[in-house]
Each structure stands twice: as C-alpha cells, then as structure tokens.
Structure 1
Amino acid sequence: MNAPLESTLWDILGVIEPQRDDWLFRQRIIQELQDVVRTVPSLRGATVEPFGSFVSNLFTPWGDLDITVMLDYDSYISSAGKKRKLSLLGDVLRALKEKGGWWRLQFIPHAKVPILKFEKGRPAISGDISIDNLGGQMKSKCLFWLNQIDGRFRPLVLLVKEWAKTQNINSPKFGTLNSYSLSLLVLFHFQTCEPAIFPPLQAIYPTNLVDDLTGVRETAEKTIADLFHANIRRFIADRSRPVNRSSLSELFVSFLAKFSTISLKARDFGISPFTGQWEEINNNTRWFPRTFALYVEDPFEQPANTARTVSVRNLDRIQEVIQRTQLTILSPNLTWIDLHQLLVKPELSRVILFRKQNQNGSGQMMHPLPQQQLPQTRKHVHSPSAPVIAARVQSARPENQLRSRINGNHHIHGLSSNPKQGTYSNSAVPEESNPNKWSKQGMQQQQQQQRGDVTNSRQQLWRPRSQQS
C-alpha cells in the first residue's frame, strides 16, 4: 500500500464529502423549482424530481444538480415528444426569468436530451433541467444500489471525479468525459480487477432496463428494484467468490494502470459494464457503424455510448493525463505537494492543510505551503468558492470522524418516486455511521455483513412511500 497516497486520498475525501447543508441546499433548489413549475399552466400536475449524482449519492458539494420535470400521465409511464419537451422547457425558462434569482439560464435544444441550464444560490450551484427523464432516475438509483455490494465504490468514484476535474478531463462540453462515464469506468474497474469486486451487470439486471419502464410507473419501478436487489443479495451471499481486500490507494493506482493505454485500446475495443469486459468493436454489431473515438456502453440502455462527446484529440490527452498521474504517484520521490497538485485544485488543498494543522489526533502535522507557491488556476463553477471553503473549515472534524462518513451509507429515503406524492422531504440527509467502518478491521466486518440480507440495509432510495417501512 502506498501510505502517502492512502493518507492523502482520505484527506481529500474528508473535504469533498457532502455535509448536511449541501443536501439541504439542493433540496431547497428542487422545492423552489417545484414552486415555479406550479405557476406554469402547461405543466399542471407535473412534479420536480432529482436524478444523477444527487440520487446516486456520488456528488460533491460543488457538483451539478440534475433535475427532471415529470409530467402527469395519471400514474402511467409516458414521455413527451422532443418538440413538446422543447416547448415546455421554453415555458420553464420564461417562468424562471419572471421569478428571478435563477442565473446563467441557457437553453440547449440540440442536445440528445434537451436541457435548460441554470445556476442558483450563493455560492452558485449549476444544474440541468430536463423533461420526463425517468430513465435517468432509474440509472441513478441502480448506481446507488450497487454500493451495497462494496462500500469502496462511492469513495473511489468521488476521488476519480475530483481528479478528473483537476486535470480538466471531466467536461463533455469540451470533448472530454462526463461524470456518468467516469462512474462507469470505476464500475468497470471493479468488475475487471483481480479478484473482481462487482459482477458483470447482466448478472444483476439481465435485460435492457430502460426498455422495461412501461405501464404503471410504481409497478415498473418496483419490479426493477426487486430484481436488482434479489440479484445483489445472491451475489453477496456467494461465499465461494474470492474477496478483494485492496486498499483505496491500491484501487486508485490499479484504475490508472488499467486505463493508461485507453487511447490505443479504444481503437479496437469498447468498454462494456453490461458484460463486464472489453468488447471487440468489429465483433459487436450493436456499435455499428463506428462513429465515436471511445465507447463506454451504458449498461442500462444498450447500446447507448456514454462517452460519445469524447474526441480523438482529447482521448489522446486523457491517456496522457492518466500516464502522467501514474508516473508521478509511482515516483520514489513522491511528496504530498505532488499529490495535491495532481488530485485537487489549490483551494481544496488549502482546506486540507488547514485541517491537518488543526487536527487533534495522532500523526505528524503538515505545514502549509506558502500560498504563492501553490499553482494558480482559474476558478469555475465546479471549484468551491470562498464561502464553501469557509464552511468546510468551520466544520472540520478529527480524521477518525471524517473517515467514518465515507462509507457509502448515506441515504435519502425521504425522496419519493410517486408522481402523485411530494417531491422530497427534509429527512433526505446523510446520517452518521460506524466510526470503525473504514478501519482495516471495520472493512472486514463490513464485508462479512454485506454477505447478509441486503433488504435490511439502510440504503433505501426513491422507493414509493407505499413501499417504505
């Protein structure tokens, strides 16, 4: 295990882990948008519901907020045509302008899924509004449920996304990877490491999930959830499978190694989390004709390519970033300064250093690097602003408490997927968890517990209230 890297990764997680206020802030945005939607005659009966990283619990305090406006189809699943979606988003845009307090409103009509972009609050959170994106909701829930198999999935996704933002390879707008693709890459890594941590997703859900979203919404969602949980329980209960005991740093290093030649390998192979293996493009008729530089297949909506925005030039750059990160991490002269410059932006690095100086636990105290020596980067919406940093500093906790929160067990079971009910409740906030969860002994105990009945798990997300206990 790379001790400096392991320690640094946990320090980073202590800063990028959402706090209670981050959850409540996003809930307020959702509720305010619901209030606006109620004033739009063409959206009578519609509900405002989150999806994406907020629902999958894979978001950071400065991450985007994905929201969909679900139209009222009298409990049945349906979807407006693209022309109607464009018209309805135009109505939402006019209502938000009239209401005020919503900034940088931008209508993106030509995207595969038309969206309305916005910023809200101080510090600003950016977000996307879509219409009738039930498929996106279900995909988000599935990623959330997968964390029941192994609690290391969520921390590694958060770390990889923060590293990708720092290295400017997490921007589909500029031809690099979107956050969903990055999450799927981590999922694929868990499927293909030795020994494997996750099974191929076809073993969890053997058909195209999006195709099964038909009929009565509550019934369809329950059927999907029941099958997903049953197969997760079956996988966890298999005591014959070898257990992967890699540390977080070992998983991060092996993630970099796996994709260090991604540009070269992408010429002949695509990434399929559904089958859990590299698929030869020439032998995969689902991907014909070949029109993309990189294939990261959506396991819940095959053969959709989640990396369709990645250009050939940027794929080469992504490979270079991975190789450079790998080379630096494996350097015998590695310092914490090198790690911070690789993995987080300077403003986050300063928060980490502040905490290290003020911690009361054991361990060597780290002295801050003079501010003028830190690399300067232009701030953007994904970087935490001064108020966010101040909040992080004020809420600094001993490291043993910080680690106890990074276990993937935060849940938002107050959220409801029933379109006839409310959009969410204020109970949708993370809970404190076992402080020993991520110690070595705690991890072993967790793996043993996870082999038990998943239905007893606290991770209940977006189930209809009729199904909530």
Structure 2
Amino acid sequence: MDYGQTSNANEPLYGLLESTLDDILSLIKPAEEDQVRRLNTVKDIRTAIQSVSSLQGTAVIPFGSYVSDLYTKWGDLDISIQLSHNPSSVGKKKKQDLLRDIMKALIKRGLGHVKYIPQARVPLLVFKSRLRNISCDISIDNHVGEVKSKILLSIAKIDGRFRDMVLLIKEWAKAQNINNSKVGTLNSYSLCLLIIFHFQTCSPAIFPPLKNIYGGNLLEDFAERRFTSGGEVEDLCVANIASLGPKRGENMSTLRELLISFFWKFSKLKELAEDYAICPYSGRCEPIENKPQWRVKPYKLIVEDPFEVPDNAARAVSVPGLAFISRAFADTFRKLSSTEVLSDKRALLGSFLRPHALVHAGVPPLENRAAEASRGGRRPAAWFPSSRQSAAPGGAQRGR
C-alpha cells in the first residue's frame, strides 16, 4: 500500500507495526472464493423462497458491508427480501409473517440454522448457512439499508485508506469484544461512522461533512416521494462527490498514523459521550442539549446516523458497554505508544485479531490479554471540550 511518505514513515519504532498491519489486511481481506460463497448463499435463499406463494415476485437483494465492499472474509451477509419500491408500504406485522414463511422454507430445505427475531426494531431472521458457512441477517423491504450501503461504497471510493481502516477496526473490535449491539456494544455501522468522523476531523480533513454528499433523511425523502428509487439517491451522491473537486492540502498520513490517531481520538469516549453526540452529518461533535430528540431518550452514546438525522446508530450501547468500549480504545492507544509492544509482533497481532484469525496467521492466541493491556504507554489526553465549554470541537488530529 502506498499512502504517501511522511517524516515518520520509516522510523524503526513503527516499521514492525506497519508490516504487521499489511499482514493483517492480507489475512482478513476477502478472496474471490469468499465472494463466490456469498453469491451462492443469495442463490440458495432465492431458490428456497421461490415455492412460497406469499413471496412470489419478490427479489433477494444483498446489502450492507458486502455491497459497500467493507466486509472481511469472515463477515456476515445482510439480505433484504424486496416486495415493493416503497420502504414504508409494508407494515411490521406483515414483515413478521413473511419472515416466518421464509424460515419455514429454509428449514424445509435443510439449508442451515434459523433464528427468528420478530420483535427487533427491524424484524429479521438470523440464518447460518450449513453449505456456505456464512451467517445472514434477512429482513423485509430494507430499502434504506440498501441505499446506505451504496452511499458508503461511493464514500469509500474517495480514499482507499478508508476501506483498509474499516477492515482493521472491524477485526480489532471483534477481538476486543466491542462489536455486538446485542450485548450493549457497537454495531458495525456505528464503527464505520466513527471512522468517517475521524477522516472528517483529522487535519487536513480527508472527508467532507456528509451533508455535502447527501443532505436529506432517507425515510422522509422516500415517504414524501422526493425520490422514487434508491438509484436517484445514489446518482445524487456520486454527483455531489464529483463536485467536491480536487482536495486542497491533501492529507498524506499513513495508515499507521491514521490508526494511532483514531485510537487516541476516541480513548476518552466515555467522557465525550456525557455531553456530545458524534455527528458525521455535520462533521463535528454537537452538544446533546441542542436536539430535543437526544435529550428525551436515555442514550449512553450518540453516533448520529447521517442518512436518518437525528437517529442514533449507537442506540444499543449500554452503560457497561460504553465503559468497555472506551477502555478498549484507551488500552489499544497505550499499547501502540509502548516501545515494548511495538517491538513484539505477537502482541500486535493479539490486539487486532480474534483467536481463530491468530491461528490462520500461524500465531497461538495470547495467553493473558489483561497483562498485555497493562503494558507501558502514555496516558491519552482529551481532544474534545470539557462539559464546561459550550462550543463543539473543530476536530484537530493529534500531531504526527
């Protein structure tokens, strides 16, 4: 990977980290066979529901990280069964009934294990394909999710470092046990938004505020017929990205520099979350008191969904979950500031990879992660204003 040279690019202290990041990316990036497995999983589901009378004429559409090209080789697959062109035309009860029909069809064919979750905010089936060894979240008429995926694909094309960051952070979050909204930590979409925010607030900025790419609310825009299809939204976003023109004062930070400053930036996340929301829409932290929708709900962390403002993409984060997330950021920053850890490839791999991935990398899992987390490093300072300050931060990046 060539992200441009900086004055620190060849420092011996960071040489092992940079080569380790390359090794991790080589391990977790999907190969052609991983894409084929996902395509075949979609075909399996399509075949299974063809005989279901209530699902005649529907389309089986993948979305999420697979469509955004932001998935690792072990990533899940999101699938929407599309009945209509209007995301608000099918009620929750009908979605629940249709998912039950899909579940029966999948079980009848013996395709794998199915778990029905009717009371979720978006009712879904969790399907684990026995043939393909892939886990899928199946929902009904998830037009908004499909459009978000394609907007993220366009955003990812602005700068190649973004995809590498997303893949690394997703695997790191899994290794740190902070990527599971079901137990009060972050979902993968929130992680992507945090990385977008980081790219907006480093200096010079890499990404613009997302309101410059799409300034609406997808649910409202579809409901009020401002757009009749997701393709119109995608075309608008592509045109707006093209209109941004060449970057001035282009950010030449290496992937390693962006990664370390990312961990530093969110190492005080728990304190930040007390008074501020993280808003990729505006590209800045916004005081929670500015929006009534945020004040009336007991959110522990607010990461505003830039495509459904002012929705909170991190609504599931709990009190203990937020403490655990913040600690993971701070511990990793300290590790990457420690000469001892930076000279130990096993420790670096253990910070970013799950046990099964470590086995793929030819390294046994770390035996004592708690001991590793306490190694060396300096105490991170806050980059955001204290609760006594009224202005939100401009978002300066830590110096190289």
Instruction: State the AA in 2 paired with 1:142.
Output: I
Report what 1:146 is aligned to: 155
**Does structure 2 retain, via aligned residues, the 8 Å contact 1:214–1:220?**
no
Aligned partner letter, 1:102: G
The corresponding residue for 2:322 is: 315
2:48 maps to 36
Encode CA deviations 1:208-253: one digit per residue, 9 max, x unaligned: 1332235899953232122111111122x245x2210011110100
Alpha-carbon contact 2:103-2:125 (below 8 Å) kept: yes
Are positions 1:118 and 2:111 aligned together?
no
Residue 259 of structure 2 corresponds to 252
Structure 1: stretches of 5+ with no match in the other structure: 354-368, 378-469
- 1:30 Cα offset (Å): 0.5
Aligned residue number for residue 88 of structure 1 = 98
User: Secondary structure in 2 aligned to 1:160?
Assistant: helix
Select which of 38, 58, 67 maps to 1:46: 58
The alpha-carbon deviation at position 288 of structure 1 amounts to 3.2
Partner residue of 2:191 out of 177, 182, 192: 182
Provide, for residues 408-441 of structure 1, a one-character-per-residue CA deviation record: whole Å limited to 9, x for no partner: xxxxxxxxxxxxxxxxxxxxxxxxxxxxxxxxxx
Segments of 4+ in structure 1 off by > 6 A?
215-218
Provide the residue aligned with 2:179 in structure 1.
Answer: 170
**Secondary structure of 1:170's match?**
coil
Instruction: Tell me, yes or no, if the aligned pair for 1:48 and 1:70 is still in contact at 8 Å.
Output: yes
Taking the aligned partners of 2:105 and 2:131, their CA distance within structure 1 comes to 21
How far did 1:291 drift?
1.6
Write the deviation string for residues 143-172 of structure 1: whole angstroms up to 9, x where unpaired: 111012111100100000000000100011
Does the 8 A contact of 1:341 with 1:375 survive in 2?
no
Verify the 8 A CA contact 1:117 1:126 in the aligned structure 2: yes
1:351-406 CA-partner distances (Å, limit 9, x unpaired): 334xxxxxxxxxxxxxxx6x4x74399xxxxxxxxxxxxxxxxxxxxxxxxxxxxx
Q: TM-score if structure 2 supplies the norm length? A: 0.85
The 1:218–1:33 alpha-carbon spacing in structure 2 relative to 1, beyond 3 Å, is farther
Give the counterpart letter for 1:56 in structure 2: S
Contact 2:227 2:233 survives alignment (8 Å) = no
Specify the SS of the correspondent of 2:304.
coil
1:7 pairs with 2:19: yes
Distance apart, 1:286 and its partner CA: 3.7
> CA distance change for structure 1 residues 123 and 49 in 2, over 3 Å: closer, same or farther?
closer
Q: Tell me, what secondary structure is at the counterpart of 1:130?
A: strand
Structure 2 portions without partners, runs of 5+: 1-8, 370-400
The answer to whether residue 235 in structure 2 is matched with residue 226 in structure 1 is yes
Aligned to 2:222: 213
The Cα of 1:294 is off from its aligned counterpart by 0.3
Q: Distance in 1 between matches of 2:292 and 2:136?
A: 35
Compute the displacement of 1:76 (Å).
5.8
Which amino acid counterpart does residue 17 of structure 1 have in structure 2? K
TM-score norm. by structure 1 comes to 0.72
Conserved 8 A contact 1:170-1:176: yes
Task: Tell me if structure 1 keeps the 8 A contact 2:125–2:139.
Answer: yes
User: In the aligned structure 2, how far is the partner of 1:218 from the partner of 1:280?
Assistant: 31
Q: Which residue of 2 aligns with 1:159?
A: 168
- In the superposition, relative to structure 1, how do residues 222 and 124 fare at CA in structure 2: closer, same or farther (>3 Å)? closer
Three-state SS of the structure 2 residue aligned to 1:127 is strand
The match for 2:332 among 307, 313, 325 is 325
1:97 aligns with 2:107: yes
Report how many residues are paired. Answer: 355
Aligned-partner residue type, residue 89 of structure 2: S
